[in-house]
Amino acid sequence: MIVLGFALAALIGISLGLLGGGGSILTVPVLVYVLGVAAKPAIAMSLPVVGVTSLVGAALHWRLGNVRVATALTFGVVAMAGAYAGAKLAAFMSGAAQLALLAIVMLVAAVSMLRGGVATRVEDAPSTVPVRAALLVPIAFGVGVLTGVVGIGGGFLVVPTLVLLARIPMRQAVGTSLLVIAMNSASGFAGYLGAVSIDWGFLAGFTATAAAGALVGTMLVARVPQAVLKRGFAVFLLVAGGFVLYRNRDALQGTDHSDATRAASHAAIASATR
């Protein structure tokens, strides 16, 4: 299973390189349902994976002039505060509740991809909406909280926000969002330190594999039809999100058995770290 897990880590990185984001949303399901890591450590460990792979993508976009550093820092600092707060908030939630929320986010992201993305539709329309910088602060904080709670970068929220409210062109919004994601992922991970058990050796290997995959994906991006790829990934995301939601349905019904969940989590951690 370790070999399969690392192969999937490479695929996560490749999909991020191809799509400019999105692929990292599968990191937590892979860690939990393929490698047997407990929910809370999996969510915490997903953040360095998301952050490092996003930083690789941001560096490549920066070389092409597609990163607005000032905007990323402004949005990212607020998002970092939200991510740290989200990680601390997660201490009051069960792992099953976090996974159920992640599943809902996966389904929303999949529907957004199937519809073509809010940002794409807005950019194609006449520019009639003024810059609304005041709205960026609460949205950035909210995206950060979501990152801290469920372990995703939130690119499918950051990109439309930058296009809609900051009026940044799509290509620059994607590059800028990757730097934002790297920043709030680092902050969210810091919020989990000391609260969950981390297998540092495993995390380093998984993250390096995903980052290498991101480089490969970036090199392949010009050879793969983006529309077909995004629709295929969105369908897969729908299936994966439905599976995760079904597995954690008790959390939505308020019947999550916390003692049993904790026992299973401890067993999974022990198994994954042997």
241 vs 219, higher pLDDT: 241
Is the pLDDT score of 266 beyond 50? no
Distance CA 109, CA 26 (A): 12
The residue count for the chain: 274
Backbone Cα Rg of the chain = 18
202: which residues sit within 8 A by CB, 6+ positions away?
45, 272, 273
Coil/strand/helix, residue 132: coil
User: Is the sign of the CA dihedral 177, 179, 182, 183 positive or negative?
Assistant: negative
Is the pLDDT score of 193 beyond 80? yes
110 with 234: CB under 8 angstroms? Answer: yes
Is the pLDDT score of 258 beyond 50? no
Is the pLDDT score of 25 beyond 60? yes
157: which residues sit within 8 A by CB, 6+ positions away?
139, 143, 146
Residue 259's alpha-carbon distances to 45, 149, 247, 262, 273, in angstroms, are 23, 21, 17, 5, 21
254 vs 268, higher pLDDT: 254
Distance CA 129, CA 160 (A): 13
Is the pLDDT score of 34 beyond 80? yes
pTM here?
A: 0.84
Share of the chain above pLDDT 90, in %: 49
Q: Which two tokens stand for residue 28?
A: 């937590």
Write the single-letter amino acid at 235. Answer: V
25 with 154: CB under 8 angstroms? Answer: no
Q: Which two tokens stand for residue 143?
A: 């995206």
62 with 171: CB under 8 angstroms? Answer: no
* Share in percent of the chain as helix, strand, coil (round to 5): 80, 0, 20
User: How many folded domains does the chain comprise?
Assistant: 1
Host domain of residue 47: 2-272
- What's the pLDDT at 187? 97
Q: Which two tokens stand for residue 187?
A: 């902050």
- What's the pLDDT at 255? 61
Write the single-letter amino acid at 54. Answer: S
Is the pLDDT score of 169 beyond 50? yes
Residue-wise pLDDT for 220-244, tens only, equals 877 877 777 888 888 989 999 999 9
Read off the DSSP letter of residue 131: P
120 vs 189, higher pLDDT: 189
Phi/psi at 117 (5° precision): 90, 135
Is the pLDDT score of 93 beyond 50? yes
217 with 54: CB under 8 angstroms? Answer: no
